[in-house]
Each structure stands twice: as structure tokens, then as C-alpha cells.
């Protein structure tokens, strides 16, 4: 019996669909990675990384045919934007791989929806909001994941051996197909980061002649203490408290910064509020991030954050279903 030959992928046509439904286009390495996984498992490329408990998800379901146009066209657009969006995933983060036994996931990170991703990152929402940079593209990112896995596992662990085997396959495929495994783009982005933010990956905004960003008046530690103090109060006492007045002053400063074209300040505050994770800040997240994304001409991210906030739950795992369609994970 002959193995099923993987179907060819029309990247231009697929990217038009990606942008239509997910509001962003996918980079070349995304499509090359599908070809790589098809070479590993022609019958089921999405499960090609099963030995490491990783599954191809999200936009890969469009290539796979699980998310057909008739399903997506009849679905709630908000549910499409939340498809494989985890609790702490900021709009800049787009999941493409997930651990089948936990909420750990890997995805692309881009600073603007009009740009291709600057890096591949990971997050485990059961642990924290921290975003861990892995590599410039999905190949170098997965290679870094494998190297980390090998360091953490014992010699007798099957996953260590599986990670070693996959590392060799990635390197061979990358060399044959001229895919860079160095992480120069990630290093260059790091130089452009104007603020760390709670998730650690930082933010990049246009910044020239000291215009584009100004720091928040509180450092990370003090801001977290302030937000926790407010969140721990009875709901009826929050807005009358001195702590909330302090937060209101910070918000007013971001509004002033916006008036003077320092849009990065509102972006930083909005992301910090979102990453703090408390529902009591969702309206403020919507306001600060919505405003910042609009002023930065990143309105697609504004649409994504609104969809996420409307569907966000206290549990760390989002419900991966397309409402109005007929598919679920």
C-alpha cells in the first residue's frame, strides 16, 4: 500500500483566507513547516510531532481542511479569532502548536498585524503569563524547544531520545531547504523593545526623537501590588478607594501621552492589565488597548482583544470551538 502523497499548498490563496478569518497573514516558514510535517507523517501531518505530545493547531486546521470556508463563513467571527487562543495570549501571540497533555503552547509573535512575525514563542498559562522567546521561525523555535527538552530529561526518558531524533530531522530539512536556524531577527527585535511588560516579551512601537513611548510612573513590582490591592477589595469599594484613584491617575497619564503621540505608554499599561488576568480590569483593558492599537494603526489587534475579552474565562484553557460552524477541538 502506497503512502498518501501530501497535497500541494497554494500559499498565496491560503494567506488570503488566513487574513480574512484570522486578520493576519502567515510567514513562509509556516507553510514550509507543514511540508516538513507532511514528510514525517503524510497521512496525518498535524500529528507528526506526537512523540513530543505536540499537535499542529489553529491556522494549520485551515491547511488540513478541518476549517473549511463554509464553516468559517457561517461562524461567529469572534469565535474564529479565539480559536486556540489561551487565557494569557495577547493579540500579538498566535498559537500554532499545543501540548496534548497540558496547556503549554507555541506560536508566532508579531508586533503589528501588518508585519510578519518577529519570533516564535511559548507560554504555559497554568504557570504564568510569561512569554518565552524560542527562535526567529518555527524551525529554530522547535529546535530550541527540543534542546531545552533534552536538557531537562534524564537519559532513560523516551522524550529525550525523541527530541534528539526530531532535532536531527529539523536540521537536515532546514539545510536542504535553505531555512535559517540562527536567530538574528529575535536579537534585532530585542534592541527595539521599549518596555518589558508583565509577559516579558516586551513591546515595540515606532520611536524616534524621544517620541512614541514614555514609561509608566510605577515600576512592575509596584504596579502589580496596586492592581492586586484593588482586585482584592469588595467590588463596591474599589472605585472609591485611594488605590483606584492612583490607577486612574496612571490612566490619565496614558491619555496625555496619547495626545502627545507617545502611544507606547497606553499599550504597555493595557498589556499589563490584561496579563494581570483579573476580570475586574477587562473594561479598562478594552479601553487602553483598544485606543493604543487604533493609534498605532494596529486595529486588527483591537478586534482580537475585544473578541478575547468577551470569551475569556477564569480557566486557563479557552474553549476551542467555532460557534455557528460545525467543528470543535
pLDDT of 159: 87
Please report which helix (H) or strand (E) contains residue 105, including its range.
strand 105-109
Residue that wins the pLDDT comparison between 132 and 8: 132
Task: List, for residues 71-83, the tens digit of each pLDDT value.
Answer: 999 999 999 999 9
Write down the pLDDT at residue 317.
54
**Residue written as grid cell 497540558:** 102
Q: Distance (Å, rounded) from C-alpha 17 to C-alpha 60? A: 12
Q: Residue 275: its pLDDT value, please?
A: 98
User: What is the band of 253 on the pLDDT scale with cuts at 50, 70, 90?
Assistant: very high
Residue 38: the pLDDT is 97
Q: Which of 115, 260, 279, 315 is catalytic?
A: 260
Least confident window among 138-152, 160-174, 301-315: 301-315
More confident residue, 167 or 9: 167
Q: Give the span between the Cα atoms of 196 and 203, in whole angstroms.
A: 7
Contact 121, 106 (CB under 8 A): yes
User: Which three-class secondary structure string do you get for the chain?
Assistant: CCCCCCCCCCHHHHHHHHHHHHCCCCCHHHHHHHHHHHHHCCCCHHHCCHHHCEEECCCHHHHHCCCCHHHHHCCCHHHHHCCCCCCCCCCCEEEEEEECCCCCEEEEECCCCCCCCCEEEEECCCCCCCCEEEECCHHHHHHHHHHHHHHHCCCCCHHHHHHHHHHHHHHHHHHHCCCCCCCHHHHHHHHHCCECCCCCCCECCCCECCECCCCCCCCHHHHHHHHHHHHCCCHHHHCCCHHHHHHHHHHHHHHHHHHCCCCHHHHHHHHHHHHHCCHHHHHHHHHHHHHHHHHCCCHHHHHHHHHHHHHCCCCCCCCCECCCCCCEC
Residue 145 has pLDDT above 60, yes or no: yes
**5-51 pLDDT per residue, tens:** 445 668 899 999 999 999 999 999 999 999 999 999 999 999 999 99
User: Cα torsion at 255, 258, 260, 261 (round to 10°)?
Assistant: 170
**Range of weakest confidence among 59-73, 251-265, 285-299:** 59-73
Per-residue model confidence (pLDDT) at position 155: 66
Our answer to whether residue 236 is catalytic in this structure is no
Per residue in 91-116, pLDDT (tens digit) is 999 999 999 999 999 999 999 999 99
Is residue 211 within 8 A of residue 261, CB to CB? The reply is yes
Listed by start position, the domains of the chain span 11-186, 206-311
Instruction: Average the pLDDT over each of 25-34, 80-89, 319-328 and give the range with the smallest value.
Output: 319-328
197-227 confidence digits (pLDDT tens): 999 999 999 999 999 999 999 999 999 999 9
Dump pLDDT digits (tens) for 239-251: 899 999 999 999 9
d(CA 20, CA 2): 36
Amino acid at each position: 500500500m502506497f503512502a498518501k502523497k501530501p497535497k500541494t499548498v497554494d500559499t498565496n490563496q491560503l494567506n488570503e483566507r488566513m487574513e480574512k478569518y484570522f486578520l493576519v497573514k502567515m510567514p513562509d516558514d509556516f507553510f514550509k513547516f507543514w511540508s516538513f510535517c507532511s514528510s514525517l507523517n503524510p497521512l496525518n501531518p498535524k500529528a507528526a510531532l506526537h512523540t513530543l505530545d505536540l499537535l499542529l493547531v489553529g491556522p494549520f486546521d485551515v491547511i488540513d481542511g478541518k476549517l473549511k470556508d463554509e464553516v468559517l463563513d457561517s461562524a461567529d467571527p469572534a469565535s474564529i479569532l479565539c480559536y486556540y487562543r489561551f487565557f494569557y495570549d495577547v493579540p500579538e501571540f498566535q498559537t500554532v502548536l499545543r501540548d496534548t497533555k497540558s496547556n503549554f503552547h507555541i506560536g508566532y509573535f508579531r508586533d503589528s498585524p501588518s508585519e510578519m512575525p518577529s519570533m516564535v514563542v511559548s507560554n504555559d498559562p497554568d504557570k504564568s503569563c510569561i512569554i518565552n522567546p524560542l527562535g526567529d521561525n518555527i524551525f529554530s523555535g522547535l529546535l530550541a524547544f527540543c534542546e531545552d527538552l533534552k536538557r531537562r530529561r534524564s537519559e532513560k526518558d523516551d522524550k529525550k531520545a525523541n527530541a534528539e531524533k526530531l532535532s536531527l530531522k529539523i536540521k537536515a530539512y532546514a539545510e536542504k531547504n535553505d531555512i535559517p536556524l540562527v536567530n538574528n531577527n529575535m536579537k534585532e527585535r530585542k534592541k527595539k523593545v521599549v518596555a518589558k511588560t508583565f509577559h516579558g516579551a516586551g513591546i515595540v512601537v515606532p520611536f524616534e526623537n524621544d517620541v512614541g513611548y514614555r514609561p509608566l510612573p510605577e515600576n512592575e513590582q509596584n504596579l502589580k501590588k496596586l492592581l492586586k490591592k484593588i482586585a482584592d477589595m469588595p467590588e463596591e469599594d474599589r472605585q472609591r478607594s485611594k488605590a483606584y484613584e492612583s490607577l486612574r491617575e496612571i490612566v490619565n497619564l496614558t491619555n496625555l501621552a496619547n495626545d502627545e503621540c507617545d502611544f507606547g505608554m497606553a499599550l504597555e499599561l493595557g498589556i499589563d492589565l490584561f496579563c494581570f488576568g483579573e476580570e475586574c480590569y477587562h473594561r479598562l483593558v478594552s479601553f487602553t488597548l483598544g485606543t493604543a492599537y487604533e493609534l498605532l494603526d494596529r486595529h486588527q489587534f483591537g478586534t482580537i482583544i475585544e473578541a478575547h475579552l468577551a470569551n475569556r474565562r477564569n480557566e486557563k484553557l479557552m474553549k476551542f470551538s467555532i460557534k455557528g460552524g460545525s467543528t470543535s477541538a
